[in-house]
Amino acid sequence: MKGNVIFLLLFFGHLYALPDTIRIGGLFHPEDDKQEVAFRYAVERVNADRAVLPRAKLLAQVETISPQDSFHASKRVCHLLRSGVAAIFGPQSAPAAAHVQSICDTMELPHLETRWDYRTRRESCLVNLYPHPAALSRAYVDLVRAWGWKSFTIVYENSDGLVRLQELLKAHGPTELPVSVRQLPDSHDYRPLLKQIKNSAESHIVLDCATERIRDVLQQAQQIGMMSDYHSYLVTSLDLHSVDLEEFKYGGTNITALRLLDPERADVQRVVRDWVYEEARKGRKLQLGHSAKDNMTFIKTETALMYDAVHLFAKALHDLDTSQQIDVRPLSCEAEDTWPHGYSLINYMKIVEMKGLTGVIKFDHQGFRSDFTLDIIELTRDGLQKAGTWNSSEGVNYTRSYGENQKQIVEILQNKTLIVTTILSAPYCMRKEASEKLTGNAQFEGYAIDLIHEISKILGFNYTFKLAPDGRYGSFHRETKEWDGMIRELLEQRADLAIADLTITYDREQVVDFTMPFMNLGISVLYRKPIKQPPNLFSFLSPLSLDVWIYMATAYLGVSVLLFILARFSPYEWDTPRNCLDEPPVLENQFTLLNSLWFTIGSLMQQGSDIAPKAVSTRMVAGMWWFFTLIMISSYTANLAAFLTVERMDSPIESAEDLAKQTKIKYGALKGGSTAAFFRDSNFSTYQRMWSFMESARPTVFTSSNKEGEERVMRGKGSYAYLMESTTIEYVIERNCDLTQVGGMLDSKGYGIAMPPNSPYRTAISGAVLKLQEEGKLHILKTKWWKEKRGGGSCRDETSKSSSTANELGLANVGGVFVVLMGGMGVACVIAVCEFVWKSRKVAVDERKEEASLCSEMASELRSALKCPSGAGGGGVTGGTRDGADSPYLHYGFNTKSQLH
């Protein structure tokens, strides 16, 4: 279809001719001289370029009108119409434009506009080159979505701004965080408003105001500290390139805008260069910069659109010229006159597709500009740079790579001085001990101080330490809905980094940014060391439990009795007595009950006895008993060594669960710290119970610092345990030898460096932390501050000292054996006396002596016992048999005289 039209146009082209001069009218406001200049220059360009309009010349007829005076505007339009114009360009002000529009509509005269117009229906004679606000608004929505802004504040100047941003307001669903909308005051003092925004901790701002006011607003924002690294501005003006942003370039604030006109494009630069040259040649006064780059700021979107509008008109006129005879004649506002070619020309303008200064010029069926591309521009150290593009079909498309962005951030970081907030907490940050008064960063030392120093060496920034005023880590107060401690410092942008033993928690991560963790840890219990048990006198009994001792004694008795019985049954155990006649009257059996007991105890004690079984059955019993004793005695010996050398410790708690089970020992944690928060938020019943116990304890079990917790455990002498982070426990027990860690870790987490939300430095600092970790620097720092500096390693000496003496057993350890020995000796003496008395009595009875003679018998026996042994008559063991009254057992000698009566 289009091809046919072009063919017809070419075919009939030579038949028609335009008038030599075609007048076009321009309506401009006096203060907006650039529009007029652009209009005139565009006419000159069209006339100069024969390819655009070969057979006619355009003649610019300009009228100057006041923006608010629509009556005067209508009069000037009528004047233009009377002089016979083919189109009207402008004006820029809405009230005047509305009148001009209605006149043009009546006269069917093309009206070309280049101004922002929110109306969703356009008059048939109007061609507006300015993109429709709805399309622009969609671009802002896409940008905000691409950045993932969860909340933001819209600062607008007038109701037009709200229309411009209505898509953005609509896109923000009710479930999302609230969007604040604030209007700039009419006065030029925006500080009160900006302060309110600052106090609301908002860092994402959409600024919609006249291009001329942008600099003022940003300047005042800078004055109140709203132009930090953490603030982002989306400026809705398409002319940000015309604003002097020099003083904001180094602040690190993210200022982004969209533009229709790309001043970097070669054709745009050529046009602007020629234009400036031309104006200068004609001696026309234009407020231009010195360099070509400065001149780019001169050309605003609407100016470029005016240039494009004239070219569009010329192209459409040329196309129309090839299809019909066109004449331009004066029209009168008083008569109901119309221009017959008006509609045709407008239709041509709407179907034409051409490339202008503002990109592809194309209209959709509603007459709105379509398929245009907007550049996303960001303020960098080198001024505004194109970061990507937006178009209605593809949305946001960033052309700058992630690496380039990061490189730029690192560049910004260099030579910047970051405020680092911290708190005094050993060994992360401590006051340096020095004889003279130290100031600034020199006052502090510790792991965190060294870590920041290492990171700054990698990234090249400077830093200043600042202690958090309340000395707290950072917790959220539900009543006041405010954070405290270091987190508050970050949120109120009084610090750029927070470094300490600051745990990465979910709640904190919601409001600030954390780097990768530089240290891993978990919650554990700090408690006093278990008290050494005094050695037990009868510790030699410990290797076997009471049950085993009882079973052993039973086994001993059982086996002895069995041996006795079996020996009596077995004929092989009956023997002729030694040194006896060939035909002994009786046989003897060595396994009397006593001998059986003696035999088994002898083997149990690993000593043996003179008695040996002869029969298989008794040997079987003996063999099994020996095997039993072998195993039992070796097990006992093995265990005994361990029991005697290991110190017996008495600890009432072995883990956090043990704490939960009792109420005698109080336990607490750091107030407002992540440990307390862990118990408060835990769903695990044990920890919930522990939290209720901690909360209800009076006096409070919470401490204001870890040091206080440590002191409280010391003072408590076992009545207080402190829930603390394992890394800090490690540090404490390395120096305070009376304390120890009880049980394992209850959770696993890490310490990170925190920074304000949306900090651009997070990735760079995280990278530096990882680098230090991979290089082993973090490990070196940990060894330095944990094991070496400030008394590190003192408890290790003690451990080695105590372990070297552990093998020496004192009397206390083995005294019980002596007691048993002495007891045994005593019992033996008593038995000996009993035996003596018993035997003396027996002899006395046998010899039928009176009571008095018992004593004399005992005395005589005693005398003979104490007599030095002489020959075989001394007290020795003599085998012998008793007469038939006694059983034929072997008896040990008592006294040869009395025995062998």
| Residue 275 tokens, joined | 């234009």
**What are residue 207's phi and psi, to 5 degrees?**
-105, 120
Contacts of 877 (CB under 8 A, 6+ apart): 892, 893
The distance of closest approach from Cβ of residue 685 to ligand GLU in the complex, given in angstroms and rounded to an integer, is: 21
CB-wise, 108 or 725, nearer to ligand GLU? 725
Neighbours of 290 (CB within 10 A): 7
- Tell me if the bond preceding 91 is cis, omega within 30° of 0: yes
| Residue 823 tokens, joined | 């007891």
Please say whether the beta carbons of 611 and 590 come within 8 A. yes
The distance of closest approach from Cβ of residue 759 to ligand GLU in the complex, given in angstroms and rounded to an integer, is: 19
The distance of closest approach from Cβ of residue 488 to ligand GLU in the complex, given in angstroms and rounded to an integer, is: 13
The distance of closest approach from Cβ of residue 702 to ligand GLU in the complex, given in angstroms and rounded to an integer, is: 10
* Interior/surface letters 544-579, b for 16+ CB within 10 angstroms, e for the rest: beeeeeeebeebbeebbebbbbbbbebeebbeebee
The distance of closest approach from Cβ of residue 445 to ligand GLU in the complex, given in angstroms and rounded to an integer, is: 19
CB-wise, 112 or 500, nearer to ligand GLU? 500
The distance of closest approach from Cβ of residue 500 to ligand GLU in the complex, given in angstroms and rounded to an integer, is: 7
The distance of closest approach from Cβ of residue 475 to ligand GLU in the complex, given in angstroms and rounded to an integer, is: 7
Alpha helices, DSSP H only, in 668-793?
674-681, 685-696, 706-716, 726-735, 762-774, 777-782
CB-wise, 409 or 723, nearer to ligand GLU? 723
The distance of closest approach from Cβ of residue 503 to ligand GLU in the complex, given in angstroms and rounded to an integer, is: 4
**What are residue 486's phi and psi, to 5 degrees?**
-65, -30
CB-wise, 390 or 751, nearer to ligand GLU? 751
Radius of gyration of the chain (CA): 53
The distance of closest approach from Cβ of residue 679 to ligand GLU in the complex, given in angstroms and rounded to an integer, is: 10
The distance of closest approach from Cβ of residue 762 to ligand GLU in the complex, given in angstroms and rounded to an integer, is: 18
Distances from the Cα of 545 to the Cαs of 542, 552, 811, in angstroms?
6, 11, 22
Report the distance separating Cα 127 and Cα 359, nearest Å.
16
Report the distance separating Cα 447 and Cα 781, nearest Å.
6
Q: How many CA atoms lie within 13 A of 280 on its CB side?
A: 11
CB-wise, 85 or 724, nearer to ligand GLU? 724
From the number of C-beta atoms within 10 Å of its C-beta (0-12, 13-18, 19+), residue 839 rates as: middle
Residue (of 209, 214, 194, 213) closest to 153 by Cα position: 194
Report the distance separating Cα 602 and Cα 618, nearest Å.
15
Please say whether the beta carbons of 483 and 511 come within 8 A. yes
Report the distance separating Cα 133 and Cα 169, nearest Å.
14
Q: How many CA atoms lie within 13 A of 681 on its CB side?
A: 12
The residue nearest ligand GLU at its CB is 673
The distance of closest approach from Cβ of residue 750 to ligand GLU in the complex, given in angstroms and rounded to an integer, is: 10
Q: What is the dihedral angle through the alpha carbons of 354, 356, 358, 362, rounded to the nearest 10 degrees?
A: -10
The distance of closest approach from Cβ of residue 745 to ligand GLU in the complex, given in angstroms and rounded to an integer, is: 12
CB-wise, 725 or 734, nearer to ligand GLU? 725
The distance of closest approach from Cβ of residue 669 to ligand GLU in the complex, given in angstroms and rounded to an integer, is: 6
DSSP state of 241: G
Report the distance separating Cα 350 and Cα 489, nearest Å.
57
CB-wise, 358 or 503, nearer to ligand GLU? 503
CB-wise, 422 or 674, nearer to ligand GLU? 674
CB-wise, 321 or 725, nearer to ligand GLU? 725
CB-wise, 114 or 675, nearer to ligand GLU? 675
CB-wise, 493 or 675, nearer to ligand GLU? 675
CB-wise, 402 or 506, nearer to ligand GLU? 506
The distance of closest approach from Cβ of residue 358 to ligand GLU in the complex, given in angstroms and rounded to an integer, is: 54
CB-wise, 92 or 524, nearer to ligand GLU? 524
Report the distance separating Cα 659 and Cα 724, nearest Å.
14
CB-wise, 182 or 466, nearer to ligand GLU? 466
Distances from the Cα of 618 to the Cαs of 560, 567, 572, 576, in angstroms?
10, 6, 10, 18
The distance of closest approach from Cβ of residue 776 to ligand GLU in the complex, given in angstroms and rounded to an integer, is: 24
Alpha helices, DSSP H only, in 65-148?
70-82, 94-107, 133-147
**What are residue 457's phi and psi, to 5 degrees?**
-70, -35
Terminal Cα-to-Cα distance of the chain (whole angstroms): 156
- In one-letter notation, the amino acid at residue 476 is F
Report the distance separating Cα 316 and Cα 347, nearest Å.
9
| Residue 434 tokens, joined | 């020095």
Neighbours of 480 (CB within 10 A): 8
CB-wise, 313 or 473, nearer to ligand GLU? 473
| Residue 836 tokens, joined | 């003596």
CB-wise, 113 or 725, nearer to ligand GLU? 725
The distance of closest approach from Cβ of residue 498 to ligand GLU in the complex, given in angstroms and rounded to an integer, is: 10
Please say whether the beta carbons of 73 and 96 come within 8 A. yes
Please say whether the beta carbons of 151 and 178 come within 8 A. yes
The distance of closest approach from Cβ of residue 485 to ligand GLU in the complex, given in angstroms and rounded to an integer, is: 8
Q: Which residues bind ligand GLU (CB under 6 A)?
A: 473, 501-503, 669-670, 673-675, 724-725
Report the distance separating Cα 185 and Cα 183, nearest Å.
6
> 609 in helix, strand or coil?
coil
CB-wise, 260 or 448, nearer to ligand GLU? 448
Neighbours of 303 (CB within 10 A): 26
The distance of closest approach from Cβ of residue 448 to ligand GLU in the complex, given in angstroms and rounded to an integer, is: 12
**What are residue 695's phi and psi, to 5 degrees?**
-65, -35
CB-wise, 603 or 675, nearer to ligand GLU? 675
